[in-house]
Structure 1
Amino acid sequence: MKKHKKRRIYRKLFRFVFFLFLVFFVAFFLSGGTSFFSPRTWQHVGDFLPKLEAVLPANQQRDTVQEISTVDRLSRLIFLKRAVDARIDQEHYVKLRDIPADMQNAIIAVEDNRFYSHCGFDLQGIMRATLVNLQYGEVTEGASTITQQLVKNLFLSHEQSFGRKAEELLLALDMEANYSKDEILELYLNTIYYGSNYYGIGPAAKGYFDKKPQDLQLPEAAMLAGTPNAPSLYSPYVDFMLAKKRQFIVIDAMVRSGYIDKNTAESAKIKPLYLAKPTE
């Protein structure tokens, strides 16, 4: 009898404890406890880890991008912000609020028109870019999203392989999970190569037009937005006429995307540009 009594007591106690756990987890999730599983929550854990040594972004490394171990790759995925911070040039970093809307819109229009609606990769954008390139008879728009280009600029080599492409996709999804769209755009504008050895919008605005980014006008912004597609070709210091042709393409893309009207576009195309250095 005593054994049966004890078993009943244990069962009741187990049911009671199980009920308490159930109530706790229900309350936990209803009160926003799901954020515990959010990728952004884990980024704060990275703050307690040793700070990573500053290193140049992948697109600024002259030699082949250094290979990293599988453990380091996983660490980069889990603590992405820690890895990003180690590769950002804080000295020349420009906040999005100090970058004119025309510059932001020009980049989005020509590089990734659906930037604010995709989750890091864009199948519709791939088809659109293909049609635009066929229309112009040359590669004027890329199929990679701004997010994909950002993670490539920061971390990846130019190797064309399934493994590297898979890593790019994972990092792009991770970036979208941990950063807002405006933060991603800000990082992108500060890390892309604008040609003539100018990395980031701050050095590019100064180097090409002797201006701060916030002082850029539409024609200047459109020319800068055109350079990342092929920096060694579209730099106005390399070939001004080719850079001007590319500027027209960017301005037309802004019209198609609804950022400017046709009259504003035609006015921007004929407005003279004054470079900081004379061209040959």
Structure 2
Amino acid sequence: MRKSRFLLLLLVLFIACFWWAGGSIFVEKYVPASTKPQNVTSTLSSLWDRTYRIIALKSAVNAKLNKKSYISIKDIPLTTQQAIIAVEDNRFYRHFGFDVEGILRATLVNIQTGEIQEGGSTITQQLVKNLFLTQERSISRKIEEFVLSIDMELRYSKEDILEMYLNTIYFGSGMYGIDEAAKGYFGKAPSKLTLSESAMLAGLPNAPSLTSPYVDYMAAKQRQTIVLNAMVRGGYIGPAMAEEAKTEPLKLAR
């Protein structure tokens, strides 16, 4: 009952903010007669699509997932999971979809290092964007991202969210999801990935078109080093293990 009330509150908040930020759904603006019906229909359709995602989130998610290459979290090595968490969202298991502390920490790390080493968006937010949203930068889109991220955390376990993220993220060179990436880059199933390989793959989503080892191998190696250092800071591995992984020869599939 408490969860249902919270979801209802989220829904009301979203509709109210969507109206305020986007677009006068209930108060008509002046629109030329020739275009008015299409604009009203388009706005109402957009509102319904966005509202449906919140009400029937699991159905909306299932419709977006590619089940042909979908891999269970049980078949993804723990080191691969840890590598992604360390570099993308080190507080993944401690936040509720939206992490203000993580944004501030990532900003500080990036300022100190002089380069973008960590992102401010949580894994949950990135999953929501991958599944439903565009790259549009607007208040209404950020509100939708915030509401859907909280809704996702209410409906799914952390393991489910991480599993879906790993199966939908883009790894560059036309490869979506950990199954395609493991086979496309290293010619093996995800369950066979080494720490060194996992760290390289975890570094790619930051800028997949630029850091794919098939595009720029040295850029991919630099990202691998960043991931391994993040894993050390997060306490997932020790410095000696990280150094060994950095120097381990990598055999690409092509």
**Structure 2 equivalent of residue 16 of structure 1:** none
Structure 1 residue 36, shift from structure 2 partner: 6.5
Q: Deviations over 1:80-104 (max 9, x none)?
A: 0000000000000000000000100
If the length of structure 1 is used for normalisation, what is the TM-score? 0.76
Return closer, same or farther for 1:34/1:126 CA change in 2, 3 Å cut-off. closer
Structure 1 residue 135, shift from structure 2 partner: 2.4
Distance between the aligned counterparts of 1:37 and 1:118, measured in 2?
Answer: 21
Q: Deviations over 1:186-232 (max 9, x none)?
A: 00000000000000000000000001000000000000000000001
Q: Deviations over 1:62-119 (max 9, x none)?
A: xxxx995211211110110000000000000000000000100000000000000000
Q: Are 2:147 and 1:182 equivalent residues in the alignment? A: no
Q: Are 2:122 and 1:145 equivalent residues in the alignment? A: yes
**Structure 1 equivalent of residue 138 of structure 2:** 161
Distance between the aligned counterparts of 2:179 and 2:122, measured in 1?
Answer: 22
Residue aligned with 1:229, SS: coil
Identity of aligned residues (%): 60
Q: 2:187 aligned to 197, 207, 210, which one?
A: 210
Structure 1 residue 149, shift from structure 2 partner: 0.3
Q: Deviations over 1:162-201 (max 9, x none)?
A: 1111110010010001000000000000000000000000
Larger Rg belongs to: 1
If the length of structure 2 is used for normalisation, what is the TM-score? 0.83
Structure 1 residue 132, shift from structure 2 partner: 1.4
Return closer, same or farther for 1:36/1:112 CA change in 2, 3 Å cut-off. closer
The code of the aligned residue for 2:83 comes to: A
**Structure 1 equivalent of residue 246 of structure 2:** 269
Count of residues in Structure 1 that have an aligned counterpart in Structure 2: 219
Q: Are 2:104 and 1:127 equivalent residues in the alignment? A: yes
Return closer, same or farther for 1:126/1:35 CA change in 2, 3 Å cut-off. closer
Residue aligned with 2:81, SS: helix
**Structure 2 equivalent of residue 257 of structure 1:** 234
Unpaired stretches in structure 1, ≥5 consecutive residues:
1-32, 40-65
Which runs of 4 or more aligned residues in structure 1 lie more than 4 Å from their structure 2 counterparts after TM superposition?
33-39
Distance between the aligned counterparts of 2:47 and 2:3, measured in 1?
Answer: 27
Residue aligned with 1:228, SS: coil
Distance between the aligned counterparts of 1:140 and 1:251, measured in 2?
Answer: 12
**Structure 1 equivalent of residue 12 of structure 2:** none
How much is the aligned-residue C-alpha RMSD, in angstroms?
1.6
Distance between the aligned counterparts of 2:149 and 2:223, measured in 1?
Answer: 27
